[in-house]
């Protein structure tokens, strides 16, 4: 699938410092959002670009109580709903396509497709069905429902899937070439529950775009080693995994998948050396990962999750430069 090793850290937030803007402003003003991404492209020229990672977009569009700090990402306030008393008919009336903040992300994608270089892959994020269900009723309640009330949770995840598909249609229509489904909450599940309440729905999304040029990426946070087989069985094009500090052994994952065409994306710790270390330490960490993954051709050098806004620019420089030098040596 890949002709050469791609280098693309998940790094929307550091772009805000390049344009002297704020998270709140960029998440609610697509012109600012676009400018932050453009600044990152001008400075680093990554092979793929994603917007600011934001798990509140769909939940906010459904009317859930969301707070918008100036210097932090938007957060859906924790709720505790009794799943048996949840009235989905209220939420089913809401057309999230008309939500202004959701439309802001769609317009950011549209500007990216129109204005960014053709060779840069334009990505977009959506919240996964189980994670969106967890935002609606509460993460702990969703985990309990997976065991105690699976039928009602299944209905809620089906509802969440339909809303997510609506959002994906808008993003693809605006020009997104890769959709990354964020399922951080699902890592709490065992393999069987993960398959039932997450992977089966991701497979449905993949099948919806089976004969298009749109790639689907499955992203989890935390230690997902026990879930890799289920993620792969969802038939996605790529899996994006957390860092070694979270328990993810990326070379071991690659050994399991060496006979597949699946793209593996990751997995430098975004809150580790690249945030707190020196450029030389970043180079050492990146080189170690690249050499460990040399045997796996469909590996994309990235971070385990979105980089914090405060990551030193010289450390991102070290990440990008090390990845490119390795690419030149190995593929040219």
- The pLDDT value given to residue 2: 47
Q: Is 299 helix (H, G, I), strand (E, B) or coil?
A: strand
- Which pLDDT band holds residue 327 (cuts at 50, 70, 90)? confident
More confident residue, 41 or 85: 41
Spell out the domain ranges in the chain. Answer: 35-261
Please, which pLDDT band fits residue 81 given cuts at 50, 70 and 90?
Answer: confident
Cα-based distances in Å from 150 to 64, 80, 183, 192:
23, 17, 18, 12
Q: How confident is the model at residue 329 (pLDDT cuts 50, 70, 90)?
A: low
Radius of gyration (Cα) for the chain, nearest Å?
Answer: 19
Pairing of strands 215-219, 238-240: parallel
Cβ-contact 326, 290 below 8 angstroms = yes
pLDDT of residue 117 exceeding 50, the answer is yes
Closest CA to 304 of 244, 243, 245, 233: 243
Fold of 35-261: TIM Barrel (3.20.20)
For 168, the token pair is: 């994906």
Cβ atoms of 272 and 243 within 8 Å: the answer is yes
Whether the per-residue pLDDT at 332 is higher than 80: the answer is no
pLDDT over threshold 50, residue 184: yes
- pLDDT given at position 79: 76
- pLDDT, mean of residues 106-134: 97
What pLDDT score does 1 carry? Answer: 41
DSSP 8-state code for residue 264: E
pLDDT of residue 3: 53
Q: What is the mean pLDDT of the chain?
A: 95
Query: Is the pLDDT reported for residue 30 higher than 70?
Result: yes
**153 pLDDT more than 80:** yes
Q: What are 64-74's pLDDT values in tens digits?
A: 999 999 989 99
Query: Is residue 331 scored above 60 in pLDDT?
Result: no
Does residue 205 register a pLDDT over 90? Answer: yes
Percent of the chain with pLDDT over 90: 92
Given a cut of 80, is residue 44 above it in pLDDT?
yes
Q: Which of 102, 121, 104, 106 is nearest to 47 (CA)?
A: 121
How many other β-carbons are positioned within 10 Å of the β-carbon of residue 258?
12
């Amino acid at each position: 699938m890949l002709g050469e090793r791609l280098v693309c850290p998940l790094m929307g937030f550091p772009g805000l410092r390049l344009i002297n803007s704020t998270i709140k402003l960029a998440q609610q003003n697509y012109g600012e959002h676009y400018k932050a991404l453009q600044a990152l492209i001008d400075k680093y020229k990554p092979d793929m670009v994603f917007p600011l990672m934001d798990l509140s977009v769909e939940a906010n569009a459904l009317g859930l109580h969301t707070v918008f700090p100036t210097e932090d990402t938007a957060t859906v306030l924790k709720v505790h709903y009794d799943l048996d008393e949840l009235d989905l008919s209220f939420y089913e009336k809401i057309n999230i396509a008309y939500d202004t903040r959701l439309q802001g992300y769609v317009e950011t994608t549209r500007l990216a497709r129109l204005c960014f270089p053709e060779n840069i892959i334009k990505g977009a994020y959506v919240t996964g069905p189980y994670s969106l269900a967890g935002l609606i009723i509460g993460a702990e309640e969703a985990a309990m429902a997976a065991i105690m009330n699976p039928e009602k949770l299944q209905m809620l995840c089906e509802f969440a899937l339909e809303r997510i598909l609506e959002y994906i249609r808008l993003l693809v229509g605006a020009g997104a070439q890769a959709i990354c489904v964020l399922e951080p909450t699902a890592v709490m599940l065992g393999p069987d529950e993960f398959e039932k309440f997450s992977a089966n729905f991701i497979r449905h999304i993949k099948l919806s775009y089976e004969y298009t040029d749109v790639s689907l990426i499955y992203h989890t946070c935390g230690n997902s080693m026990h879930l890799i087989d289920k993620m792969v069985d969802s038939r996605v094009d790529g899996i994006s995994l957390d860092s070694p500090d979270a328990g993810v052994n990326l070379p071991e994952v690659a050994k399991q998948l060496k006979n597949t065409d699946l793209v593996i994306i990751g997995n430098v710790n975004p809150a580790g050396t690249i945030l707190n270390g020196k450029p030389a330490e970043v180079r050492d960490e990146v080189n170690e990962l690249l050499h460990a993954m040399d045997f796996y051709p469909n590996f994309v050098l990235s971070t385990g999750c979105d980089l914090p806004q405060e990551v030193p620019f010289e450390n991102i420089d070290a990440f990008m430069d090390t990845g490119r030098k390795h690419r030149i040596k190995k593929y040219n």
